[in-house]
């Protein structure tokens, strides 16, 4: 079974440029998460989708970040314009229904803003 797939793996952009990340969750997983992870920290939630609905985007900086999950399957996360402080690893995860199930992570996109 294919795991969570993310692309690109690495991205280097200049500040003020736009960038987009893509995620394809595990088939059948209704819930999709975007996390941000800084060095030495645990993942921090940016947004959670249940199917195509964003049910928690309270931690998403909406002035520059946007996300979508059309058709309730794959998802994109966009930053426009990027700032130096956005350099981090962006992780996508998915889970199946039920509070006791685990979250499965993709390999992440390592973003460097220069």
Partner 1 sequence: RKEVEQDPGPFNVPEGATVAFNCTYSNSASQSFFWYRQDCRKEPKLLMSVYSSGNEDGRFTAQLNRASQYISLLIRDSKLSDSATYLCVVNIGNQFYFGTGTSLTVIP
Binding stretches for partner 1 (CB under 8 A): 31, 33, 35, 40-45, 48, 50, 56, 91, 93, 95, 97, 99-100, 102-108
Residues 6+ apart with CB under 8 A from 62: none
For residue 106, give both structure tokens. Answer: 């993709």
What's the closest the beta carbon of residue 16 comes to partner 1, in angstroms?
27
Q: With respect to partner 1, which residue has the nearer C-beta, 18 or 55?
A: 55
Distance CA 113, CA 19 (A): 10
Cβ nearer to partner 1, comparing 14 with 44: 44
- Phi, psi at residue 79, to the nearest 5°? -125, 125
CB-wise, 40 or 85, nearer to partner 1?
Answer: 40
């Amino acid at each position: 079974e294919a795991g969570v797939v993310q692309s690109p793996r690495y991205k280097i952009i200049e500040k003020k440029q736009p960038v987009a990340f893509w995620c394809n969750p595990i088939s059948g997983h209704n819930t999709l998460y975007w996390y941000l992870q800084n060095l030495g920290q645990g993942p921090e939630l940016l947004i959670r989708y249940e199917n195509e609905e964003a049910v928690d985007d309270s931690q998403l900086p909406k002035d520059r970040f946007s996300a979508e999950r059309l058709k309730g399957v794959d998802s994109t996360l966009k930053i426009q314009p990027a700032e130096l402080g956005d350099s981090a690893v962006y992780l996508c995860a998915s889970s199946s229904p039920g509070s006791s199930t685990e979250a499965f992570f993709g390999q992440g996109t390592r973003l460097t803003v220069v």
